[in-house]
Structures are given as C-alpha cells and as structure tokens.
Structure 1
Amino acid sequence: MKNKAVLGQSEVARILATARAEAQSNQWPVSIVVVDDGGHPLALERLDGASPISAYIATEKARTAALGRRESKGYEEMVNGGRTAFLSAPLLTSLEGGVPIIHDGQVIGAVGVSGVKAEQDAQVAKAGAQCLR
C-alpha cells in the first residue's frame, strides 16, 4: 500500500490566494481553478472582469494537467509541432495555463488559469502550484 498527500481545504485556499495575488498584482482578470489528482474541481474563482468562458477553459486546463501529469503547455507544443493527432486525445485541452501540483514527487492536483495571454495564464498557475513547496 502506498501513501500519498491529498489537498485539503487549507492548501486549496493558499493556492487560490497565491494565484489571485499574482493575477491582481498584474491586473489580469482571470479564472483560477484547483483540481485534485483525478481532475475533479476543488475550487474555482473568477476574478472581476474575467469572461464567463474563462471559468470553463481554466477547469479544462487544470484537468488536463492533473490527468496528464504535466503542464498543459506540453500538449500545445506537441500539436503546434505537427502532432495534430493529439487533438483527438482524451485530454480536454492542449492550451497553456494548466500546471500540476507536485508534492514528494507525486502529482496531487493541478491549477488551471484562463483569461489573459497563455504565458500570463501559466505564470499565475505556476505561482499557485508552487506555493506549497
């Protein structure tokens, strides 16, 4: 039997607060989603000014990072590099902005962000994902 860390509500709150602070310090209206290792939503926050669709896209970015065990950007790079077959993969989005949360070498969840440029979404997601280290 293996043991694994699980995100609790205090960790989820810290992740959201850190990601929100990163977004607000740059005045980026984004949606931020935290999911567990199975891609199930634990929290969603849509900042003032973020478009309604950004909540859906952020969720799919987070789910992709959790299930794929890597940043969603990797899938975007594969598709852009010519592996268009990845568009039919069971992952839900191949857009940058989904980042896994890693603890003791294991993926325990992910953060997805949507609402601004892809690299800015990723910057916010990384801030949240790395705050538990």
Structure 2
Amino acid sequence: MTENFDAEKADNLPEIEKQWAVKATHQAETYWNLLTAIPGSKLRLTTCDDEIYAAFLVTFPNFNIKNIDEDNFKSEKSKAKWREFHRGLENKVEDHNFGTLLRKRVDGEYNAENGVFATRLQFYAIEIARNKQGLNDIHCKRN
C-alpha cells in the first residue's frame, strides 16, 4: 500500500467484498456458537478485555449496549468518537479496523434485521461490555 492511498476514493471490488462477507459471516457464526455454549460473562475475547472495557466506559458512558441505535452509531459525531477510541487501542488489537458484523440487539441472534457493520474494535468493545455485564448469558444453552 502506498502513502498516497485514499480509502474514500478506492474501488469496491466485488471479489474483495465477497471475501469480506465470507470472513465476517464465519466470525459471526463462531462467536454465536461460543455464546450459545459458554455464558458470555465467562468469555474473554482478547488479551486486553479489561483495558478495552475501561476505555469504552470512559469514551461512551451512555452507550446503549442492549439496543444499538444504528443511525446514532453511524452518525458523523459517533464516527469521530470511535476514530479517537481506535487511536488509543489500535496497537493492542490485531486487525482492529477489519469489518465485522455486530448484533444491534443483545437479546437477538445474528440475522439481516439484527446486524450492523462495525470494525473489529467496535465489536470487541460492545461485546466485551455485554459479556462483562452478563447480558449475553441469556443465549447460553447451559443456563
């Protein structure tokens, strides 16, 4: 990649989009399988869950992790806050900016109505918060 690369002007190549979709879907399926097998409150998603969680609470103290408002989540003001959040943790999370799927409602599973596009670090921040607060425990089949 060159220093002059401008992501805003880059082409969306269909084969790359398909590869992203396959990887993101696989990640979502894997995570859902974990949530249905192990209480979320017992999961660690990264080696720095506590640091991500603490930074998330400071940066987004009023964020509704139970039901994400997609319009607010994707607003310019929110995007600016998320960019700042990334800057503090980007070296801690591999592929922090990789696109992934995030459930909008904590009480639902992955599907077209309950999914939103997010970065991997956004996914981690929100799902770590959901797990630490015990909100994902409802999905575990062993409850």
Task: Give me the TM-score of the superposition, normalised by structure 2.
Answer: 0.29
Task: Give me the TM-score of the superposition, normalised by structure 1.
Answer: 0.30
Larger Rg: 2
Q: Name the structure with the higher helix share.
A: 2
Higher relative contact order (CA closer than 8 Å, sequence separation 6+): 2
